[in-house]
Amino acid sequence: MADHSSVAVRGIRLSYGVQGEPGGPPLVLLHALGESAADWDTVAPVLARHRRVYALDLRGHGRSSWPGTYSLEEMRDDVLAFLDVLGLDRVDLVGHSMGGVVAYLLAQQQPQRVRRMVLEDAPPPLPRVPSTPARPDGPLDFDWEMVLALRRQIDAPDPAWLPGLARITAETLVVAGGPESHVPQQGLADLARRIPSARLVTIPAGHLVHAAEPRAFTEAVLAFLPADGVD
């Protein structure tokens, strides 16, 4: 069972859940666009048998602040500030979709902070045909303005992000969802090629790999992470 808390970082509050033995190797989970830390509830307890697991609500999501200013760089910097506040010098990262983008932006800006990284069906930093999403009906547990701002960035990423992948030193596992995913799988293969110490594994579950195939996902992640958290 996760304990829930929050911390002040960069003028906002970030909500997070934490579980696993105190002092265990730290593992940080970053959710997809429009999700929250709760999206990891199926797999986090399994990962927490071996790790101290921190699952964040990124800005504009869930119980974290909805400050009205949003970018993937701000989310990256929020996570770095979160690590600083909690005294986590070096961590393993797991990021799903948008959370994977935040993870690889962090790993290319401060490579020394990331030991190993798992990118679950995360879009590569390549331009794509833009589209405007339709707002769902009813109340939302995320800021719709955040969705619009980040979709624009994902559709037209900063050109510096692509060559920046070469600066990543963390061993990386790219988890592809296979042909049922809306993320182009060739792009994931290219992502794995551009990160120096990366490999690709496909779990044919669609975009929501950890939700659709939690056992296969956790087995792949735990097989990839060193048992004692030290390389």
- Coil, helix or strand for 16? strand
- Mean pLDDT, to the nearest integer, of 175-200? 96
Q: What is the pLDDT of residue 190?
A: 96
Q: What is the pLDDT of residue 213?
A: 98
Separation between Cα atoms, residue 33 and residue 191, nearest integer Å: 19
Separation between Cα atoms, residue 174 and residue 58, nearest integer Å: 21
Grade residue 120 by pLDDT with cuts at 50, 70 and 90.
very high
Is it the case that residue 28 has pLDDT exceeding 80? yes
What is the token pair recorded at 18?
């934490």
CA pseudo-torsion sign 146, 81, 105, 164: positive
Separation between Cα atoms, residue 24 and residue 132, nearest integer Å: 42
Separation between Cα atoms, residue 225 and residue 219, nearest integer Å: 10
Grade residue 2 by pLDDT with cuts at 50, 70 and 90.
confident
Query: For residue 166, what are the CA distances in angstroms to 89, 150, 158, 161, 186?
Result: 22, 23, 15, 10, 18
Separation between Cα atoms, residue 188 and residue 115, nearest integer Å: 21
Q: What is the pLDDT of residue 163?
A: 97
Q: What is the pLDDT of residue 229?
A: 58
Q: What is the pLDDT of residue 231?
A: 59
- Mean pLDDT, to the nearest integer, of 157-180? 97
- Quick: pLDDT tens for 190-225: 999 999 999 999 999 999 999 999 999 999 999 999
Nearest residue to 181 (alpha-carbon basis) of 173, 192, 189, 193? 189
Residues 6+ apart with CB under 8 A from 100: 30, 119, 120, 121, 122, 123
Q: What is the pLDDT of residue 81?
A: 98
Average pLDDT, the chain: 96
Is it the case that residue 151 has pLDDT exceeding 80? yes
Query: For residue 221, what are the CA distances in angstroms to 29, 127, 133, 225?
Result: 12, 29, 31, 6
Q: What is the pLDDT of residue 58?
A: 98
- Quick: pLDDT tens for 69-119: 999 999 999 999 999 999 999 999 999 999 999 999 999 999 999 999 999
- Quick: pLDDT tens for 31-83: 999 999 999 999 999 999 999 999 999 999 999 999 999 999 999 999 999 99
Is it the case that residue 18 has pLDDT exceeding 80? yes
Q: What is the pLDDT of residue 85?
A: 97
- Which alpha helices (DSSP H) does the chain contain, by range? 44-47, 72-86, 98-109, 144-155, 161-164, 185-194, 209-212, 214-224
Is it the case that residue 228 has pLDDT exceeding 70? no
